[in-house]
Amino acid sequence: MRSDEIEWWLETTEKHDSQATSLKHETTVDRATDDRAAKRRRLHHLTPPSSYCEIAGDANTKQHQVHHLMPLQNVVMDTPGGGPKRRMDDETPRAKRVQSSSSRSYSFSEQSSRCTRSGRTSPMKQMLKLRHDPNGLDIRELESFANMPEELVVLLDDIQAFVDGFRWASPSRGSEFLTDDPTVASCTPLPEFVLDAKAAAVECSYRNYPEATWNLEVHQLILSMAFRPPGQRRFRQLVNFMGSTTAAVMPEYGNPLTSKRVDFCIYIEPENDATLSSEYRAAAERMRNALPQEVLNFTDFVPLDDRFVALIIETKKPGENMETGQLQLGVWEMARWNFLRRLVAGHSDGDVFAADSAMQSARLPTFLPGIVIQGQDWYMVVTTAEGDRTVLWRKKSIGSTADSRGIYQIVRTLQYLERWAREVYWPCVRSMLEAGAGSQPL
């Protein structure tokens, strides 16, 4: 290893970072000056309107103008049927939620009072309910995981190497960062892409952007670097990703009292597997007919139809409740484990958990990884099955978008998990499906 090459590469990258940060600061100052001047001009109106709501002639115009009176994360939304109200940015958006035309803008103190009076169950209370549910969820610390499966030990050691700065870049970046995976080496993100992601993260953090904008401007860019390398058709990969903020867990697989949404799903597209056989297609059709609502998944989200979720990602903006994000991801992982149990059992009746536990343990995956993002910081969590229950083990830092090196580490970890999904998880799910469908009548 030549340390002078490593230092040269890092200095070059940091120089670009410094220039981008300086440019960002100058742009921010100019923008703030323009905003203050525009504000002073608006204050000189002789007859300012008494309220934007009085100007609006219909519900759509009114909703648009109310949103411009206050930041997105402070808007209170009415729910259909007069149910509890919530701030728009509290959690991943839910499907089919419509704002009432009678909504008004409220001060921060009024919103806080409304949330307190709404009676909405806190994440801690929801976790307590799941802890006492026979088919529920436990959250534990990863460091306390005794008798950890050997496969998980290897995965965590490899990811720790990326976090420590080893094996996450192509040979041109310097020998210390060299990866021995030729596929990954050819897909190391270019510095300009990494700097774009960093600049977007700085902008979102500085301007207090809502979660949806973080997903659009930062997280999707990083996921693209990991799962959609240049030179490949965008939807021809075996492993790909999609936004899933409107997807819901089917009631047959989840707890109806803890309905949650997540932000992204990494999925397997069987049709892009060149080894797919007619036997698999026949088995998949038989299993579909045997599963609840004839859906070959634990969510009836149409874009995920006939696709298998390999990795679940939940995101939160800076300062938001990390426990809430872990709960949202944990509820989805509970559903995924229940779905996999049904594949093993090979039937759809309500007594799926009565299947032989030894058989289930032998054929189920030993663990499932997931990702929770809080602002700039990315964490990996792991779930395992303990009988009919799901355990979420938290958490391992995999990098931060606050600096270029952290972004390279995140992308390399995601590429590693893509390989796990392709070489470990997909063959496991495929064999479970084919074996389970074999027990179904033709």
Could you read off the pLDDT of 6-54 as tens digits, one per residue? 455 555 655 555 554 454 444 444 544 555 544 444 444 444 444 433 3
pLDDT at 330: 96
Query: Is a pLDDT exceeding 80 seen at residue 317?
Result: yes
pLDDT at 142: 96
Q: Taking residues 311-327, what's their average pLDDT?
A: 94
pLDDT at 232: 82
pLDDT at 350: 43
pLDDT at 29: 44
Q: Taking residues 151-180, what's their average pLDDT?
A: 75
pLDDT at 3: 46
pLDDT at 187: 82
On whether the CB atoms of residues 351 and 314 are closer than 8 A, the answer is no
pLDDT at 306: 94
Token digits for 268?
């397997």
Main-chain phi, psi angles of 152, to 5 degrees: -75, -35
Query: Is a pLDDT exceeding 90 seen at residue 400?
Result: yes
3-state secondary structure string across the chain: CCHHHHHHHHHHHHHHHHHHHHHHHHHHHHHHHHHHHHHHHHCCCCCCCCCHHHHCCCHHHHHHHHHHHCCHHHCEECCHHHCCCEECCCCCCCCCCCCCCCCCCCCHHHHHHHHHHCCCCCHHHHHHHHHCCCCCEEEEEHHHCCCCCHHHHHHHHHHHHHHCCCCCECHHHCHHHECCCHHHHCCCCCHHHHHHHHHHHHHHHHCCCCHHHHHHHHHHHHHHHHHCCCCCCCCCCCEEEEECCCCCECCCCCCHHHCCCCCEEEEECHHHCCCCCHHHHHHHHHHHHHCHHHCCCCECCHHHCCCEEEEEEEEECCCCCHHHHHHHHHHHHHHHHHHHHHHHHCCCCCCHHHCCHHHHHHHCCCCEEEEEEECCEEEEEEEEEECCEEEEEEEEEEEECCCHHHHHHHHHHHHHHHHHHHHHHHHHHHHHHHHHHCCCCC
Most confident of 159-173, 177-191, 315-329: 315-329
Measured distance CA(314)–CA(319) in Å, rounded:
15
Q: Taking residues 294-304, what's their average pLDDT?
A: 97
Of residues 89 and 373, the one with the higher pLDDT is 373
pLDDT at 64: 42
Of residues 125 and 436, the one with the higher pLDDT is 125
β-partners of residue 267 are 240, 309
| Span of 110-124, 201-215, 369-383 with lowest mean pLDDT | 110-124
Query: Is a pLDDT exceeding 90 seen at residue 355?
Result: no
Measured distance CA(265)–CA(2) in Å, rounded:
40
Most confident of 120-134, 247-261, 392-406: 392-406
Side-chain half-sphere of 375: how many Cα atoms within 13 Å? 13
Q: Taking residues 209-222, what's their average pLDDT?
A: 98
Could you read off the pLDDT of 230-264 as tens digits, one per residue? 888 889 999 999 999 999 999 999 876 667 899 99
Query: Is a pLDDT exceeding 90 seen at residue 178?
Result: no
Q: Taking residues 180-189, what's their average pLDDT?
A: 66
Could you read off the pLDDT of 59-112 as tens digits, one per residue? 444 344 434 434 444 444 444 444 444 444 445 655 554 444 334 333 333 343
Q: Is 399 left (phi over 0), alpha (psi -120 to 50) or beta?
A: left
pLDDT at 364: 93
Instruction: Tell me whether strands 137-141 and 264-268 are parallel, antiparallel or unpaired.
Output: unpaired
β-partners of residue 391 are 138, 384
For the chain, the average pLDDT equals: 77
pTM for this model (two decimals): 0.71
Counting residues of the chain whose pLDDT is more than 70, the rounded percentage is: 62
Measured distance CA(38)–CA(426) in Å, rounded:
56
Distances (CA, A) of 339 to 254, 353, 404: 10, 11, 38
Q: Taking residues 216-232, what's their average pLDDT?
A: 94
pLDDT at 186: 59
pLDDT at 263: 98
Counting residues of the chain whose pLDDT is more than 90, the rounded percentage is: 54
Of residues 43 and 168, the one with the higher pLDDT is 168
Tell which residue, 211, 213, 234, has the closest CA to residue 372. 211
